[in-house]
């Protein structure tokens, strides 16, 4: 017995130290738990993300994780672009989200986010039809500009005048939450104001945080915690209660609002008018289960991509002032052509059509999403046995987790300078066009048949917000403030993004004042 133990641990000691140790009975759980605990307790250290990155790189980009004996914690983790292409496109039918995914995200169970097969096809077609309304993008583009001009810029000006330090993550999150709610319900909840009213946005954050722990816990454990209403499951239950109440309130306001001459284009109105047999609201204002899940998943989809991208984008811009100057150089001719007053007090907002040709601004966004993807993990389940391009044998029922965070840090894809924030990597040599990067190498907007339906909408929204803020203000990080990702399925910031805002001195026709 002692000899066998000595041989076992001697063999383990010769393995790559960057890989988690596979212990008897408990598998790799101790190493994973230690890295998670380190991330929670060690301020300023991205220990969990470094642990995962190092492990995947050391394993050749695909790692088979073994959990405790008799648990459901046996799965693959991969960041290999060829594996992703195989699962997302070439053999898509064999790799659905799976029942486990729907259980983890039970708040939106039944929506397009968690569905597979024919149900998914129908719900995706329904969402595609809703987002393709000709009047929708025109309405939203106008609403984005109005919201930035009337709410966001005055708040930033107030912070600049008073010298108040602000949490840019919270501020931008509120902005995007209001915009997403307007898309879904046709109602602005007004959470972006000086008095900072309560918002349901933290409840949506809780869904993603608890989903992270459900991914890495044995299902029996988190289900027991849910039954006992303790730990993260108690936090999720409260979040679900708040979201449910918010949805009911927004449905009522949608019903009570004044109707103009044009038909409403918000998603709630579209769904209940065009799919009344499936997505309906009863006389008391209660949505059926499918409509409820559809509305919440639409809020998450509309908020998370933009709401998590913007803070990290401004973080990268604050650390790279030469990129800010380059953006302003691109915006200067537009400002000069449209500005009516040649003074430093003019607050400029750029229309969607004005920022559409700015490929450099798009490259700035993609480069930030590469390093800090909005969604950190994707999950697939195998229906039948298969062999991945990496050579790993997959059995029916196996779960595969895809790390978007590590995908953005592969030198085989992005070069030896993958750690640098360099928007130019996305541009042609003369900077006039974006280089093609296949979605299986850059998964921020998903890939294959599940490609994000709102991709162009999100890009336009981000460009509108960034252009206005960068042109009118200088954003400086508060010295000593630790910026790091939270443990979540989405790229939330653990401590927010504390910044100082300063009004930028400029003249609308002075392209030399760009510092």
pLDDT tens-digit readout, 218-241: 788 899 999 999 999 999 999 999
**Residue with the two structure tokens 């750029």:** 350
Which has more confidence, 470 or 197?
A: 470
In the block, residue with structure tokens 């106008």: 142
What integer best gives the mean pLDDT of the chain? 86
Is 15-503 in CATH node 3.30.565.10? no
Cα R_g (the chain), whole angstroms:
24
**Which residues fall in the annotated binding site for heme?**
452
Residue 486: what pLDDT? 87
- pLDDT score for 406: 94
> What is the pLDDT, as a whole number, of residue 226?
95
For residue 24, the model assigns a pLDDT of 56
From residue 478, give the alpha-carbon distance in Å to each of 154, 163, 314, 318, 482: 21, 12, 13, 10, 9
pLDDT of residue 34: 55
The three-class DSSP label of residue 381 is: strand
Residue bearing tokens 């195998």: 382
For 116-133, how does the pLDDT look when each residue is reduced to its tens digit (9 = 90+)? 999 999 999 999 999 999
Chain-centroid distance, C-alpha 264: 28
In degrees rounded to 5, what are phi and psi of residue 64? Answer: -90, 120
The pLDDT tens digits of the residues spanning 367-402 come to: 999 999 999 999 999 999 999 999 999 999 999 999
pLDDT digits (tens, 9 = 90+) for 8-43: 443 444 455 555 655 454 455 555 555 555 555 444
> In this predicted model, what pLDDT tens digit does every residue of 148-180 receive, in sequence order?
999 999 999 999 999 999 999 999 999 999 999
Residue 449 pLDDT: 96
pLDDT one-digit tens code per residue, 396-445? 999 999 999 999 999 999 999 999 999 999 999 999 999 999 999 999 99
Q: Cβ distance 348 to 508 under 8 Å?
A: yes
Alpha helical stretches, state H, 195-275: 201-216, 219-228, 231-256, 267-274
Q: Contact, 380 vs 399, CB < 8 A? A: yes
Q: For residue 44, give the 3-state DSSP assignment.
A: coil
CA-to-CA separations, 251 to 137, 203, 300, in angstroms, rounded? 22, 18, 17
Residues contributing to the annotated binding site: 452
Closest to 464 measured CA to CA, from 365, 355, 360: 355
Per-residue pLDDT, averaged over 351-355, amounts to 93
Percent of the chain with pLDDT over 90: 64
Q: Are strands 386-387 and 498-503 parallel, antiparallel or unpaired?
A: unpaired
Task: Check pLDDT > 80 for residue 69.
Answer: no
Q: How far apart are CA 278 and CA 315, in angstroms?
A: 43
Find the DSSP H helices in 105-152.
117-131, 134-147
475 bridge partner residues: 501
């Amino acid at each position: 017995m002692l000899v066998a133990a000595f041989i076992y641990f001697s063999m383990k000691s010769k393995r790559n130290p960057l890989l988690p140790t596979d212990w008897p009975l408990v598998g790799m759980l101790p190493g994973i738990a230690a890295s998670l605990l380190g991330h929670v307790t060690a301020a300023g250290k991205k220990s969990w993300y470094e642990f995962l990155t190092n492990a995947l790189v050391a394993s050749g980009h695909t790692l088979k994780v073994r959990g405790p004996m008799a648990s459901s914690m046996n799965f693959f983790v991969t960041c290999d672009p060829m594996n992703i292409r195989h699962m997302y496109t070439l053999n898509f039918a064999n790799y659905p989200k799976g029942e486990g995914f729907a259980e983890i995200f039970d708040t939106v169970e039944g929506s397009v986010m968690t569905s597979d097969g024919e149900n998914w096809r129908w719900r995706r077609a329904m969402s595609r039809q809703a987002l393709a309304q000709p009047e929708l993008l025109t309405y939203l583009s106008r609403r984005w500009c109005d919201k930035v001009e009337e709410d966001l810029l005055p708040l930033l000006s107030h912070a600049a005048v008073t010298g108040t330090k602000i949490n840019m993550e919270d501020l931008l999150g509120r902005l995007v939450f209001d915009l997403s709610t307007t898309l879904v319900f046709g109602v602005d909840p007004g959470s972006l104001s000086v008095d900072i009213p309560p918002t349901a946005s933290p409840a949506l954050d809780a869904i993603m945080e608890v989903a992270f722990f459900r991914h890495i816990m044995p299902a029996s454990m988190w289900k027991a915690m849910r039954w006992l209403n303790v730990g993260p499951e108690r936090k999720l239950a409260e979040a679900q209660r708040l979201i449910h109440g918010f949805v009911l309130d927004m449905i009522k306001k949608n019903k009570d609002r004044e109707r103009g001459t044009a038909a409403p284009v918000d998603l709630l109105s579209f769904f209940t008018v065009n799919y009344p047999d499936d997505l309906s609201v009863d006389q008391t204002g209660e949505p059926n289960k499918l409509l409820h899940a559809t509305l919440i998943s639409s809020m998450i989809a509309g908020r998370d991509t933009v709401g998590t991208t913007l803070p990290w984008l401004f973080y990268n811009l604050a650390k790279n002032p030469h990129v800010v100057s380059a953006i302003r150089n691109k915006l200067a001719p537009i400002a000069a052509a449209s500005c009516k007053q040649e003074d430093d007090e003019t607050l400029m907002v750029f229309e969607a059509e004005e920022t559409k040709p700015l490929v450099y601004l798009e490259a700035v966004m993609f480069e930030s999403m590469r390093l800090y993807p909005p969604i950190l993990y994707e999950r697939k389940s195998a229906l039948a046995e298969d062999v991945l391009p990496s050579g790993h044998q997959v059995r029916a029922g196996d779960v595969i987790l895809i790390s978007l965070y590590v995908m953005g840090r592969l030198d085989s894809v992005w070069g030896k300078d993958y750690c640098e924030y360099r928007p130019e990597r996305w541009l042609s040599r003369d900077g006039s066009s974006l280089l093609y990067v296949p979605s299986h190498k850059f998964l921020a907007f998903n890939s294959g048949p599940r490609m994000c339906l709102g991709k162009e909408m999100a890009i336009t929204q981000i460009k509108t917000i960034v252009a206005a803020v960068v042109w009118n203000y200088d954003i400086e990080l508060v010295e000593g403030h630790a910026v790091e990702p939270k443990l979540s399925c989405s790229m939330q910031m653990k401590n927010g993004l504390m910044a100082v805002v300063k009004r930028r001195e400029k003249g609308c026709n002075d392209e030399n004042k760009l510092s």
